[in-house]
Chains A and B, each alone.
Chain A
Amino acid sequence: MAIIEVQGLSYSYPDSPKPNILDVNLTVDEGEFVLITGPSGCGKTTLCRCLNGLIPNSYGGAFSGRVVVDGLLTTEHPVYEIAQRLGLVFQNPENELFCTTVEREVAFGPENLALPRGEVRSRAEEALGVVGISHLWDKSPEEISGGEQQKVAIAALLAMKPRVLVLDEPTANLDPLSARSVLNILAKLNTESGVTIILVEHRLEMVAHMADRCAVLDDGKLLLIGEPDEVLYSEAVDRMGIGIPKAVKVAKRLSFGSKSGKKPLSSRDLADIIRGGKQ
């Protein structure tokens, strides 16, 4: 079942000399984990804004094509309505947290849906539990680490019980351990709760193996989409500014993809193949 359908999407920001998104077609099934990558300035953030309706509803500009999120056509429904189906996490959590405590922050969304008090409370508690920060409930978002802030931002969206989470480089400002912890939470949400995940990320070595499909954007166009190993072993990605995992680089140098058809994504998988002597 498709939960997101993007058809013939093109978009230019007001005053932009050229299209920022050009003829993108993309269908995402419910429960899928789709990784989006590509060099900076390729349109990743713009695509995210198109998915939750911020574009064109709040940005203006020249928009054509169709984006349908869980049955809602984004040009016909306001952002707050789409936000109940699809939550967007930004790169810098500092820019989206504003309440005095973590609990207030996470309860803010459900309160605005005018849910009963008990329901708001239980949703907030559940969401904090899922991302593993229940102990921070009475802390100020300002006094916790960047990784914890990003988890608060994710919990705040989970409390809205969205069916889709879109995350725009959520680990860009995090140290590696916090990044890994946030990415593991996403994998868990996807496999255990069936939340559809669309993740924009540069650290492919940490996420490629989690994703069902990987999409590569370049200059506003959807250049490639397919299973992560197919995409990362294709020749087209070598010439782009994306961070190919080192295990893939080594395997490519040993002509793995072309010779044996084996396409390991992680160091462990590569080592198993080499040491197993089954190349």
Chain B
Amino acid sequence: MILFEDVSYSYSPGRYALEHVNLDIGGAELVAILGENGAGKTTLVKHINGLLKPQSGRVTVSGADTKNSTVAALARKVGLVFQNPDHQLFAETVEKELAFALVNFAMPPDEVSRRVDWAMKEFELTQYRDRPPFMLSGGERKRLALASVLCYDPQILILDEPTTGQDSRQKIRLASLLKRLNGEGKTVLVVTHDMEFVADFIPKVVMLSKGRVIAEGSAEEILTNRELLMGASLLPPQLAELSWDLALQRPTIDLEQVVSAASKLVGGSQR
């Protein structure tokens, strides 16, 4: 679905934002892109929707070289939800915001209204239909930004820091929505610093550091690798830290496993 072949990109000479990146993300995957500030996460994402084209190497999105595609054409396939909804929302009402892309894709009016109604219902925004987006709360604006992208049903969905300012209940809802979309066959990429969210809900991780992919694999394996996390200036998830503090033989990010290992330790020390 998304293929990076030896991709390099630099904004200023001598400093690579991406350096020889190889990445192969298959069909229906749910992947977290992790990395410290300036690791190249945003640069990577901008290559997928064609905002940036590789200076060397090649990026292919569902079979097509991005060098031969326009941003407009890629937008149909790749939906990008920004971290700050205020950078994305601009319409006079919630309804117009949701319809904007659909109208631009020249969908018939009844299809537009069907999709807009679906999105308002799915994201609990129906009551705000005629309200200006800037009148909504921060969390609601964040939901609207995501809804406006999901409306046109892109095959690939990229979310930049979707959990900032969200409480734990909303994070659980977001996670189950992402799982569902993924189950329906979509490719979902989550760019995030939120290690707890990744540890709890996202199965696969790509880790960037200083413009390079330094690890790729299961969240369980990568998020319990202390040296790797420290090398990338990332804080470990709490359960990994607890595993280390308890000196568990097999560190894990799975709550049930930590509970079971800890209760054995407690039982052992009582005997």
A39 interfacial by beta-carbon distance below 8 Å:
yes
Chain A residues, CB < 8 A from B235: 176-177, 180
Contact at A250–B242, with CB atoms within 8 Å? yes
CA distance A173 to B239 in the complex (A): 23
Selected contact of B170 from candidates A40, A240, A245, CB within 8 Å:
A40
Contact at A173–B164, with CB atoms within 8 Å? yes
Contact at B246–A271, with CB atoms within 8 Å? yes
Chain A residues, CB < 8 A from B166: 40
Q: Which residue of A lies closest to B168 (CB)?
A: A243
Secondary structure class of chain B's binding surface, majority of residues: helix
Selected contact of A246 from candidates B170, B242, B266, CB within 8 Å:
B242
10 closest A-B pairs by CB: A241-B169, A277-B269, A271-B245, A246-B238, A175-B193, A267-B242, A176-B235, A243-B168, A241-B167, A40-B167
Task: Give me 13 A-to-B residue pairs in the complex whose CB atoms sit less than 8 angstroms apart, sorted by A's number.
Answer: A40-B138, A40-B166, A175-B193, A177-B234, A243-B167, A246-B196, A247-B242, A249-B255, A250-B242, A250-B262, A254-B266, A268-B245, A271-B246
Chain B residues, CB < 8 A from A276: 269
Contact at A41–B137, with CB atoms within 8 Å? yes
Count of CB-CB pairs between chains A and B under 8 Å: 96
Q: Which residue of A lies closest to B170 (CB)?
A: A40
CA distance A245 to B265 in the complex (A): 20
CA distance A244 to B167 in the complex (A): 11
Q: Restricting to B246-269, which residues have a CB under 8 Å from any CB of A?
A: 246-247, 255, 258-259, 262-263, 265-266, 269
Contact at A176–B137, with CB atoms within 8 Å? no
* Residue interface bits A239-269, CB-to-B below 8 A is 1, else 0: 0111111110110011000000000000110
A202 interfacial by beta-carbon distance below 8 Å:
yes
B139 interfacial by beta-carbon distance below 8 Å:
yes
B6 interfacial by beta-carbon distance below 8 Å:
no
Selected contact of B242 from candidates A41, A173, A242, A270, CB within 8 Å:
A270
Which residue among B169, B247, B266 has the maximum number of chain A CB atoms within 10 Å of its CB?
B266
CA distance A242 to B36 in the complex (A): 26
Q: Which residue of B lies closest to A244 (CB)?
A: B168
B68 interfacial by beta-carbon distance below 8 Å:
no
CA distance A271 to B246 in the complex (A): 5
CA distance A249 to B138 in the complex (A): 28
B55 interfacial by beta-carbon distance below 8 Å:
no
CA distance A174 to B258 in the complex (A): 28
13 additional A-B residue pairs with CB within 8 Å, beyond A268-B245, A276-B269: A175-B36, A176-B235, A177-B36, A178-B37, A202-B168, A246-B196, A250-B255, A250-B259, A267-B242, A271-B246, A277-B269, A277-B270, A279-B269
Contact at A172–B262, with CB atoms within 8 Å? no
A274-B165 contact in complex given A180-B235, A245-B238, A246-B238, C-beta closer than 8 Å = no
Contact at B258–A173, with CB atoms within 8 Å? no
CA distance A169 to B165 in the complex (A): 8
Chain B residues, CB < 8 A from A240: 169
Which residue among A40, A145, A173 has the maximum number of chain B CB atoms within 10 Å of its CB?
A40
Chain B residues, CB < 8 A from A243: 167-168, 196
A41-B193 contact in complex given A242-B167, A243-B167, A250-B259, C-beta closer than 8 Å = no
* Residue interface bits A187-220, CB-to-B below 8 A is 1, else 0: 0000000000000001001000000000000000
A275 interfacial by beta-carbon distance below 8 Å:
yes
B195 interfacial by beta-carbon distance below 8 Å:
yes
Chain B residues, CB < 8 A from A250: 242, 255, 258-259, 262
B233 interfacial by beta-carbon distance below 8 Å:
yes
Q: Which residue of B lies closest to A249 (CB)?
A: B255
* Residue interface bits B27-39, CB-to-A below 8 A is 1, else 0: 0000000001100
A12 interfacial by beta-carbon distance below 8 Å:
no
CA distance A145 to B165 in the complex (A): 18
Chain B residues, CB < 8 A from A172: 164-165
Which residue among B165, B193, B238 has the maximum number of chain A CB atoms within 10 Å of its CB?
B238
